Structure 1
Amino acid sequence: MRHMFFRLTTRWAAGLVVLLAVTGMAVAADTASPYRIVGYATGWDPAQTKDVGKIDTLIFAFAQLKDGRVVVDDNRAKTLQTLLALKSANPKLTVTVSVGGWSVGGFSEAASTAAGRQQFADSAAQMLSTQHADGLDVDWEYPGHHESGIKSSADDKANFTLLLKTIRASLDRAGQKDGKHYALSVAIADGPFVSDIDIPAINPLLDWFNLMTYDFVNSNTPTTGHHTGLHASPLIKGDGRTTDRAVQQFLAADVPAQKLVIGAALYGREFADVHADHDGLYQTYGHFVNMLNWPDLKQHYINKQGYVRHWDDVAKAPWLWNAKTRHFITYDDPQSIAAKMAYIKAEHLGGIMYWEQTNDPADELLDAMWRGLNK
């Protein structure tokens, strides 16, 4: 079944374009946008296929790291093949595979020896070739850090660079055999969380950087705030994290602007027992409550049940405050995403990345990204 999607005859392909046009399914434009829209996807809702032409790259999340090898089990392979099948609707679509994620360990151990790095790299290349995917995204959270509960080492900084060098070489060898270029990207944070990453050294090895410019405030931070804010709010303290500060950090490390893909969140974060000053913004709180996807926010929270929407015109970010319950919610919405798209254009960045495809089943936020980059 997989190969039927890649053996379209000219007549069948022409018919498909007509069919998509009739049914209203989005088709990638002939003139390529200078900006990339990249979406992490743990699955796929068939209703979203109408908008697949708005996406440049889907990153399947996640492959597994088992005994130092990058593998995709049978169940995950089915999901990956569902994403790859979308190339029939958007032939320009790139589908890559991410390995790792929050709390996934084994990276430090695999990267610690030349043999371990080679096994990681070769298994990743073999997996991509077997699955007919287009590249690898390395999501090690984070080299030299153990906040997520994984093992780390003082040698992670050097070993991460060596690991990416080995992966790049293995992907190039596989690409020569398969007649294609396998992309290599990283999911990467900012601020103190890249203290053990040699950004200038890894830059030449990567096709682009997926900047995880979200989760700036979470259950481990002392205050509420904008979890995916673009600029620094007047209330932010010190070197608090923002999207712009992340971008400037990577530009200062000589990463070309067009290789930087900033992040948007298709979900919000809720905090309880929040100090009431400034309607809960950048205030101490009792406990973190939950993550809420975009449809839930729209249906149950935004200007409902006592939650009042506020807008920070400096940070270019919304938040919700419930004065009665003292609950605070930070999130992205079409207005904040439009501001991010304008920022991408002004800074000549590579584009936008988001977590995660199934959190926005009606593609309302995806559409805001596409319009912002293509209007």
Structure 2
Amino acid sequence: MDLSFTPDEERFRTQLRAWLADNVPRQWRSPSFWSTVSEAEAFELRRDWERVRYRAGFAGISLPREYGGRGGTPGMQAIHDEETARARVPHSVNQIGLTFLVPTVMAIGTDEQKRDIILPMLRNDVIWCQGFSEPGAGSDLAALRTVGVLDGDEFVVTGQKVWTTNAAHGDKIFTLVRTEPGSKRHHGISMLLIDMHQDGVEARPLRQMSGASEFGEVFFTNARVKVTDCLGGVGNGWSTAMLLLSFERGASGLAQYTAFRSQFDEIVAAAGAEQIDDPVLRQRLARRIVDLECLRYHAMHVLTQVEKGGELGAESSLTKLQWSQTHQQLWETFDDLLGPEATLARPRPDADMRSMHREAMWSRSVTIWGGSSQVQRTIVAERVLGLPR
């Protein structure tokens, strides 16, 4: 495992850090800022600022220049993720597409798909969302029932997706569809790239217990998509999805470590001296620090493997398990420290902790989406450790 970056990568860090200091609005650095604006306003603020970042050359760090990227190394991408988290830059409005779809397109997409998908996404001209889960097909994704019937050079798609991030803002959706009549389980599935601005596609928001509407549900009623808008080949949807999920589950942990470490400091500050002096709670805080440092070292291990040209494969499930459990346990410690006050949106008149309350609520979901912890443990047992079924 290599814990260092090259001189070129460190020069990139210095350049990026200086640019972020000059361009990230000062008010964004307050943890509570985003709780003071509406979801619609927050989306537009983030979208406009990301266009500024793209024009400055700080988007698509490790992507080839021919597709609008910077042509940097995996180490530069990791530094970018770490420094933007440190500067409290909000998540991209195109996070789903950039983190999961783009590397999949780069790996197995056609030249036309690379050209048509990547640059418009970097400029935020096209917002992508992901349509995997369905009612009755969540962790058991192979139970999906959305169907696509071939009609000439198009598929006619009918079905429903749920827990679709950014559904309300999505221009296009990459989604799993059963395109082979009568097929079962993992067979006969294709990953289709569907225009959401057409008759036959309806997106409805879903409000979460935190009050946010980040998710939505999507209904397809005879929506049409060209056969050429299939990623990975017709009938190869399951293997395409597994490749995409390896990028989702194995995404750089350095940004997560940096963000979680800041959250830890905020939790300690919010708890106050009386709670911190409790020896049992201090033990729990110490355990969280150990968890966070383990996450950092694992992130460097993964980055080392990527820089050597290795593929994440099933080992990406280890990353998903580690960061999601670490994040959830961190906010469980928040609950322990603040007690009943942790469940209130504004627990104290002298401290606006709405953002912390929302993060605590959100943390309940991270061990479910992207493959539940139970599913990830099964993958690790069978495909990494080689244990019998």
Normalising by the smaller structure, the TM-score range is: under 0.3
- TM-score calculated relative to the size of structure 1: 0.25
Q: Which of the pair is proportionally richer in strand?
A: 1
TM-score by length of 2: 0.24
Greater fraction helix? 2
